Amino acid sequence: MRLLVTGGCGYIGTVLTTQLLKDGHHVTVVDTQWFGNHLEEHPDLVVLEQDVRDSRAIPLDGIDAILHLANIANDPAVELNPELSWEVNVLAGQQLADLAVRAGVRQFIYASSGSVYGVKQEDEVTEDLVLEPVSVYNKTKMVAERVLLSYRDQMIVHCIRPATVCGLSPRMRLDVTVNMLTYQALTDGRMTVFGGHQTRPNIHIDDMVEVYRHFLARPDLPAGCYNAGFENLSILEVAELVQEEVPAEIVVTESVDPRSYRQNSDKLLATGFVPGRAVRNAIDDLVAAEREGRLNQDETSYTVRRMKQLGLAEQGRSEAARGP
For residues 56-64, give the mean pLDDT.
Answer: 97
CA-to-CA distance for 152 and 285, rounded, in angstroms?
A: 38
Pairing of strands 45-49, 26-31: parallel
Residue 199's alpha-carbon distances to 206, 230, 256, in angstroms, are 22, 13, 14
**Residue 311: partners with Cβ closer than 8 Å, 6 or more residues away:** 319
- Model pLDDT, residue 102: 98
For residues 132-146, give the mean pLDDT.
Answer: 96
Beta strands, E only, the chain: 2-6, 26-31, 45-49, 65-68, 107-111, 156-162, 164-166, 190-194, 199-204, 224-228, 231-234, 249-253
Which one-letter amino acid corresponds to residue 50? Q
| First and final C-alpha spacing in the chain | 27
Whether the pLDDT of residue 85 is over 70: the answer is yes
For residues 17-34, give the mean pLDDT.
Answer: 98
**Residue 102: partners with Cβ closer than 8 Å, 6 or more residues away:** none
Model confidence at 319, pLDDT cuts 50, 70, 90, reads: very low
pLDDT, one tens digit per residue, over 110-131 is 999 999 998 888 999 999 999 9
pLDDT, one tens digit per residue, over 215-250 is 999 999 999 999 999 999 999 999 999 999 999 999
Q: Which domains does the chain have, with CATH numbers?
A: 2-165+204-230+258-276+299-309 (3.40.50.720)
- Model pLDDT, residue 256: 75
pLDDT, one tens digit per residue, over 140-167 is 999 999 999 999 999 999 999 999 999 9
Q: Would you tell me how many other CB atoms lie within 10 Å of the CB of residue 118?
A: 19
Average pLDDT, the chain: 94
Nearest-CA neighbor of 259 among 305, 205, 201?
201
Whether the pLDDT of residue 324 is over 70: the answer is no
Model confidence at 213, pLDDT cuts 50, 70, 90, reads: very high
Q: What are the backbone dihedrals phi and psi of residue 213, each rounded to the nearest 5 degrees, phi first?
A: -65, -35
Whether the pLDDT of residue 316 is over 60: the answer is no
Q: What percent of the chain has pLDDT over 90?
A: 89
Nearest-CA neighbor of 67 among 269, 219, 173, 170?
219
- Model pLDDT, residue 195: 87
Model confidence at 320, pLDDT cuts 50, 70, 90, reads: very low
